Amino acid sequence: MTFQENLTLTLRLVPIEFLNTLYMVFVSGFFAFLIGVPLGVLLYASDKSGLYPSPWIYRGMGTIVNIGRSIPFAILIVAIIPFTRWIVGTSLGTTASIVPLTIAAAPFMARVIEGALKEVGGEMVEAATTMGATKAFIISKVLFPESLPTIVSGVTLALVTLVGYSALAGLVGGGGLGKIAIQYGYQRFNGFLMIITLILIVLLVEGIEYMGNALVRSIEKKRGKR
């Protein structure tokens, strides 16, 4: 293809598929967060040093989360095609890709929440308990506010990972920049489109990391840590 033809094709495809990538990443990130928060709290609370120690619950939930994290996304997206079709009515397209993206990111989010809550430390929990605070109050008003910078950093990393996963979704009919790279770049031997999509994916990752780091710095600055 000539440069003019490549440019025309790029202007026709890239803007809408870039928006589709943003749609997939942030919507799946939102749902993964909604699922990951209660799972993470349950893991933290049921640990032997948690507020509600329960080895059976912790081991059971931990095993489920670990299995979810260990499945390669390329396999997961194919394996749950029937479930995806049941949820959204189809296994192809941008919206359908949100289902496996959410399932892939939720276990990671759960570990992010668990680790962030544990990072706060037992001394603050003991102090709140001594003052008569309920366990629900400790989790919502002590642990979460104090662990917010760590949670934001973890969510940022999860969103960056979802960008890479969203590109893989193009292998099985998903939308976004991955669709352009695979269907128009790789399969049609169009190096120009491959380079354009690669640059946009890198810029998107950098943008997400920049905003996440800026938010962490803002939170820490308000707390006088910077």
Contacts of range 123-126, beta carbons closer than 8 Å, 24 or more positions apart: 125/51
Tell me the fold of 3-222.
Answer: MetI-like fold (1.10.3720)
User: Left, alpha or beta for 189 (phi > 0: left; psi -120 to 50: alpha)?
Assistant: left
The amino acid present at 33, given as its one-letter code, is F
Contact 117, 47 (CB under 8 A): no
- If one counts every other C-beta atom within 10 angstroms of the C-beta of residue 36, the result is 27
pLDDT in tens for each of the 226 residues of the chain?
Answer: 677 776 777 777 888 989 999 999 999 999 999 999 999 999 998 988 777 888 899 999 999 999 998 988 888 988 998 999 999 888 888 888 999 999 999 999 999 999 998 887 677 777 877 787 788 888 888 888 888 999 999 999 999 999 988 888 877 777 788 888 887 777 777 788 888 888 999 999 999 999 999 999 998 888 765 5
Alpha carbon distances (Å) from 39 to 43, 99, 189, 198, 210 = 6, 18, 44, 34, 27
The token duo for 27 is 């919507």
Classify 15 as helix, strand or coil: helix
Contact 61, 51 (CB under 8 A): no
pTM of structure? 0.88
Instruction: Pinpoint the alpha helices (H) of the chain.
Output: 3-46, 55-70, 73-79, 81-88, 94-120, 122-130, 135-137, 144-168, 177-179, 191-222
